[in-house]
Structure 1
Amino acid sequence: MEKPIERTYEIMEVCLLAGKIMLQSGGETYRVEDTMMRMAAAFGIERTHSYVTPTGIIFSAEGTEPTKTKLIRISERSTDLKKVSMVNSISRRITGGDVTLEEAMEHLQEIDSLDVTFPFRVQVAAASLASGCFMIMFEGGWNDFIPAMISGGMGYLSFVYFHRFVPIKFFSEFLASFVIGLFSFLFVKMGVGQQLDKIIIGSVMTLVPGLLLTNAIRDLMAGHLVSGLSKGAEAFLTAFAIGAGIAVVLSFL
C-alpha cells in the first residue's frame, strides 16, 4: 500500500511543479489545468481534479484511499512564455510515453531554475525602441521618435528599479508612468519634442498589461470566472496606476 501512495504523491508533485512554472510565467488558467490533468493521466492517474487561481493551485488525485489533495501558493508572477512553451513540450513528451516520472521531475526542476530572460540592458533597449515604434504607429511624427525612445526607456528602467526597492507592482507602475510623463513634458518644453500626447502614449505602451488582459478574457471565455475576473481586476488596477502617474504630471506641470 505504501508504494502506490508514494508514487501518487510523486506524480502530484510533478504535476504541481509543471502547473506552478506555467502559472508563474504567464500561462492561462485553463492551459495549466489541462496540462496537469494530462500529465497525471499519462502516469496512470485518470481521475484528477484541479482548481487554479492566479495565487494558488489545488490538485486532487482519486483512485487511492483516501483521496490525495495538495495545495501550493503562487506568490510571484511574471511574463516568460518560453518557460510555458518548455513545460508544454515536456507535457507532450510525457503524454507520448517518452519521459519517465523521474526524468520529468528532473527536467521541470531544470526549467524552474533556468533564467531565460534577456540581459537587462537588452530589455531597456527593446523597451526604448518599442516606445518609439508605438509612437509612430499612433501617427506621431518622426521628430518625436527619439524623445519617445528616451522616455520609454527611462520609464521601463524606473519600473524595474522601483520594483526592486518597493516590491509593490502598482506603486512601481505609478512611479514609472510619472517618470515617463515628466520626461515627455520636459522634452516638449525644451522644444525637442512636438506632440506631448503621442510621446506619452508610445512611451507607456511598454507598461500596458497586454498579456494579463488577454489571459483574463481567454479565462472568462473558457468558464474560469474567478481567475478571469481577478486577472481583469489586476489589469484594471495596472491601467489605473499608469493613468494616475501621467495625470499627476499633467496636473502639476
Structure 2
Amino acid sequence: MEENKNEIIKVCLLAGKIMLQSGAETYRVEDTMLRIASSFGVVNAQSYATPTGIMFSVDETEPTNFVRILDRSTDLHKVAIVNSISRKISSKELTVNEASELLKEVEVQKHAYPIYIQILAASLVSGCFTIMFQGQWTDFIPALFVGGFGFSAMIYLHKVVEIQFFAEFLASLFIGLIAYLFIDIGIGKELDKIIIGSVMPLVPGLLITNAVRDLMAGHLVSGLSKGAEAFLTAFAIGAGVAVVFSFI
C-alpha cells in the first residue's frame, strides 16, 4: 500500500510539473493533481502550486513533497495531453503505472517548432500587426524584417544572458534602431506603426492572461507574481524602444 501511495504521489507531482513548465495556470495544476489523486483513491490530498514550485501531500498529516520549477515555457499541447491523461485516469482507463509511463513520455517530448519557423512566424505576425494597427502597406515589408530580426535577437540574447529582462530590453532596442534605419533610408513611412507591429511577438500575452485568471480564481500569490513578471517584460520592451526615441 505504501509503495502504491508513493507511485500516486509521483504521478501527481509529474503531472503538475509538466503543466507548470508548459504555461498552465496554477489553479488548473492544483485541480488536475487533486483529481488524479482522488481517482486513485486518495480523497484527502492537498496541493499548492506557485510558478516556481509545487507542494503536495496525500493527507493533512502526511509528509509534504516538494518539486522545484526552474524552467517555464509555453507548450499548450503538453497541457492538453496531461489533461487528456487526467480524464482517462478519472474514467479508470489507466493504472498508476500506465499513467506514469505516459507522463514520462510527455515530459521528454519536444513540440516546439524549429527556430527558423518561429522566426518566420514572428516576421509574418509583425507585418500583419502593423497593418492591423492601421499602418500602410509600404510598412509591411520593413515590419517583416524588423520583427523577425527582433525575435531572433531575443532568442540568441536569452541564451547568452539568462536574465530574460535584459534579453527583451536589448531585442526591443534593436527593433527601434532597425525600424528607424528603414525609415531613414526611405523604406517605410510610419515609424511608430512598424515598431508596434514588430514588438508584438515579444509581448507576454499568455502570462498576462494567466495572471488575471489566477487572480480571479483566488490564487493571489501566483497571480501577483505572474503579473509582476508580465509587467517587467512590458517595461523592458517599452524601455528599449524609449531609449531609441530619446536619441533620434
TM-score range, shorter chain: over 0.9
Gaps of 5+ in 2: none
Aligned counterparts, 1:148-167, within 5 A: 148-167=143-162
Residue 184 of structure 1 corresponds to which residue in structure 2? 179
Residue 120 of structure 2 corresponds to which residue in structure 1? 125
Q: Name which of 13, 17, 22 aligns with 2:14.
A: 17
Gaps of 5+ in 1: none
CA distance in 2 between counterparts of 1:10 and 1:252 reads 60
Residue 46 of structure 1 corresponds to which residue in structure 2? 43
Residue 64 of structure 2 corresponds to which residue in structure 1? 69
CA distance in 1 between counterparts of 2:82 and 2:128 reads 32
Residue 23 of structure 2 corresponds to which residue in structure 1? 26
Task: Verify: 1:198 aligned to 2:193, yes or no.
Answer: yes
CA distance in 2 between counterparts of 1:105 and 1:164 reads 32
Q: Name which of 234, 240, 243 aligns with 2:238.
A: 243
Runs (4+) of structure 1 exceeding 6 A deviation are none
CA distance in 1 between counterparts of 2:3 and 2:55 reads 19
Residue 229 of structure 1 corresponds to which residue in structure 2? 224
1:94-146 deviation digits (Å, cap 9, x = unpaired):
11111111111111011100000111111000000000001111010000000
CA-CA distance at 1:18 after TM superposition: 0.5
CA distance in 1 between counterparts of 2:164 and 2:103 reads 27
Residue 132 of structure 2 corresponds to which residue in structure 1? 137
CA distance in 1 between counterparts of 2:244 and 2:92 reads 58
The CA RMSD over aligned residues, in Å, is: 0.9
Task: Verify: 1:90 aligned to 2:85, yes or no.
Answer: yes
The amino acid across from 2:45 in the alignment is: T
TM-score normalised per structure 2? 0.98
CA-CA distance at 1:79 after TM superposition: 0.6
CA distance in 2 between counterparts of 1:109 and 1:177 reads 37
DSSP 3-state at the match of 2:218: coil
The amino acid across from 1:49 in the alignment is: Q
CA-CA distance at 1:68 after TM superposition: 3.1
Residue 108 of structure 1 corresponds to which residue in structure 2? 103
The amino acid across from 2:65 in the alignment is: K
1:143-179 deviation digits (Å, cap 9, x = unpaired):
0000001000000000000011111111110011011
The amino acid across from 1:113 in the alignment is: V
DSSP 3-state at the match of 1:121: helix
DSSP 3-state at the match of 1:72: strand
TM-score normalised per structure 1? 0.96
CA-CA distance at 1:10 after TM superposition: 1.1
CA-CA distance at 1:220 after TM superposition: 0.3
CA-CA distance at 1:32 after TM superposition: 0.3
CA-CA distance at 1:249 after TM superposition: 1.1
State the identity %: 62
Q: Name which of 57, 60, 66 aligns with 1:60.
A: 57
